[in-house]
Amino acid sequence: MAKYIADRVDLDLILLKPVEDLRVEKITLEELKHGIRNGFESHIRCEEQAKKISEILGIDIKVNENPYKLNKEDTLYVISGDNFYRLKYIY
């Protein structure tokens, strides 16, 4: 089960089939920190965004322009401004 952090959602990178749904939840900063406490892969594409997110989370976030592929067991955490979201499959 992979965990990703991104500053945007790329719908082309989410592997959905017609019978599956994607759940998007707005979460708190505490829920985000709890979700990534055991590790995650950064997919923040902008150096400035990476610095802002590093300050918010209190950990070093590296820029990674490689795309993620969200599979059934994976979780994507999206940080957009002051808002935090968790994306997961419903199946």
pLDDT at 2 over 90: no
Report the pLDDT value the prediction gives residue 70, as an integer from 0 to 100.
Answer: 80
Contacts of 74 (CB under 8 A, 6+ apart): 1, 2, 3, 4, 88, 89
| Overall fold of domain 3-90 | Rossmann fold (3.40.50)
31 vs 4 pLDDT, higher one: 31
pLDDT at 20 over 80: no
Cα 76 to chain centroid distance, Å, stands at: 3
Domain ranges of the chain: 3-90
Q: What is the pLDDT of residues 33-84, one digit of tens each?
A: 999 999 999 999 889 999 999 999 999 999 988 888 888 888 999 998 889 9
A 10 A CB-CB count for 7 gives 19
Q: Is 6 helix (H, G, I), strand (E, B) or coil?
A: strand
pLDDT at 29 over 90: yes
